[in-house]
Amino acid sequence: MRFVLTTLLLLLIAACTAPIPTSDQTPQPPTPSSVPRATSPQPTSAPTTTPALPKPKVLRVNLATRPDSLDPQKAFASSEIAILQLAYEGLTRVDEKGRVVPGAAETWAFSADGKTLTFHLRAGLKRAEGTALTAQDFEFAFKRAVDPRVAAPSQSFLDEVRGAQTAYSLDPKSKPDDVDKALDNVGVKATDATTLVFTFDQPAGFFPTIASTWIGLPTAKSKIEKDPDAWWLKLENHNGNGPFKIVEIQDQVVRLVPNPNYWGGRAKLDRVEFYWLADAAALETYRQGGLEVIRVTTDAVTQVQADAGLSKELFRAPAARVTYFGFNLKRAPFNDKNVRKAFSMALDRESFVRDVLNGLGKPYLAWIPPGMPGYDETATVPGYDPQGAVQTLIAAGYGTPDKKKVDCAKLGTIKLTYANTPKTQLLFQFIAGSLTRVFACPVLLDPVEPNAYPVVVRDPKTTPQIFLVPWEEEYPHPQNWLFLQTCAGVYATRLGYCNRDFDAAFSAANQELDFDKAIEKYKAAQRIFVNDVAAAFLWNNDNAFLVKPYALGLTAHASTGDNAWVGQFGPVLSYDVDTTKVGAGYPAQ
């Protein structure tokens, strides 16, 4: 099973790029290694010598980072996926509630044994330029995703597909005939122009959600074969099938307009523009009317809340991101469940969120976050109870002879390991102080050079005693939250967690073909993991955005999974702009 968690372990290390402008010059496509350097987007003034034309309906969104690739099979970052979600459409889509809905496929069905899944495409599907879109196009895309020469970052999404792991595990330098043979054996087959069949070794009831992800978006074989690595840099190669089409790619901006051949009809918006300004520049540009949507960070939320105007435009909702205390269960004292429970009880989450995160998040005791299928408010780790924490340790044999306090010598050295940045230093100082006050035992801080930190936490030989781990879902399904905890997953190999009862419950949930029944089975598996207190959950991040009030429909369709822009999983065709209420800074054309 895949493990992309290591890319997320650089907690709170912000990577900011330079601000960006809207250019009136012919756009020059970026190279894969280029770094954008630009200024803020500039509004277009209406001509003074001719009557003003009606204002276009433009939605300008600031993303967290610059996209490095707009190749669907090679995409990984949230900014890349946000753009691709508009320009392409998978076999299925996921709505704001996390439910799978039809996309390019109108219907799908599992075989009786659950080992075959057949998708039936809509009749008459077309790409943006008007050419037919067929099941063979999807077969090419899914097989390209497991081609070892492509090295797709999310190739393991397809692990359940027969032959997929065998294909992508080949040496990329293997003989082309050997690679082609392996790809021919992958269980994805277009049986005619509108029918695509997947074959699994075991039932995979969650696969309709996988079919919605970027890994299988229908890239055009004819475009890729001419330039496999850099095809996506040319506008004419983005012949997608989504509700919008890409019409401009620059280092500073990506612009999209409605796709005239989208099966669902024309979007109300005339244009969507994505930028990636640094936080301070984005906030100032938003103030001046140069953006409709920006993300609000922990550094800026206090400033926004204190502003009478901006505070009215602040939208907040739970995010599909949870940060937890990771214990090394292979080392004392955290091989003792009671010690893990005590440390969970010693964490003052309320004060932490208020004082360190500036209130941008929620103290959290569960795993799968609210708003997502599989959320279970009854499955929680022990909450803040300082007296209970001390008594739990004493009862477990870590107390002084009079059993009035914790014996620090018996508890042993407690060390918190983290990437050494100003933000994480503040964060861990708070946590260390909280633990010290509760147990009256020293807690050591172990800052690690940021570039070395991922190496330390990846290697099971150097797994820290305690460290913070954020997990942000890749797709909105409980399977994506629970695969980590299997005995073959990272919790076993790096943290030492393995519970065969959990594995059995998780396997049963994966093989359940009925969505609602599967969710209940995933909840049962989740309860096993949570009750083992293999981790102490700390906070559930908030999605916080500033949204102009004239941008209509976005917040009404917000999703827990909106990690790039608010409403990204909603009905984008219906989003609108009330051009009678726009102000200075809004484009006139």
Q: For 15-51, b where at least 16 C-beta lie within 10 A, e where not — what string?
A: eebbbbbbbeeebeebeeeeebebebbebeeeeeeee
Average pLDDT, the chain: 91
pLDDT of residue 387 exceeding 90, the answer is: yes
Locus of tokens 């979600």:
85
Cα within 13 Å of Cα(372), Cβ side: 30
Band (pLDDT 50/70/90 cuts) for residue 493 is: confident
Contact by Cβ (8 Å): 373, 476: yes
> In three state form, how does the secondary structure of 319-363 look?
EEEEEEEEECCCCCCCCCHHHHHHHHHCCCHHHHHHHCCCCCEEE
Query: Which pLDDT score, from 0 to 100, does residue 33 have?
Result: 33
Encode pLDDT of 405-429 as tens digits.
999 999 999 999 999 999 899 999 9
What residue ranges in 179-338 does DSSP mark as E strands?
A: 188-192, 195-199, 244-249, 254-258, 271-275, 293-295, 314-327
Burial bucket for residue 323 (CB in 10 Å: 0-12, 13-18, 19+): buried
Range from 39-53, 129-143, 419-433, 515-529 carrying the lowest mean pLDDT? 39-53
CATH topology agreement for domains 36-42+54-66+237-318+544-589 and 89-218: no
CATH class, range 329-541: alpha beta
Encode pLDDT of 232-271 as tens digits.
999 999 999 999 999 999 999 999 999 999 999 999 999 9
Assign a CATH topology to domain 89-218: Dipeptide-binding Protein; domain 1 (3.90.76)
- What does the block give as tokens for 487? 């005995």
CATH class, range 36-42+54-66+237-318+544-589: alpha beta
Q: CB count, 10 Å around CB of 198?
A: 29
pLDDT of residue 362 exceeding 70, the answer is: yes
- What does the block give as tokens for 210? 């996988």
Q: Rounded mean pLDDT of 13-37?
A: 33
The pTM for the full model equals 0.88
- What does the block give as tokens for 374? 């599989």
Query: Domain extents for the chain?
Result: 36-42+54-66+237-318+544-589, 89-218, 329-541
Contact by Cβ (8 Å): 316, 546: no
pLDDT of residue 28 exceeding 80, the answer is: no
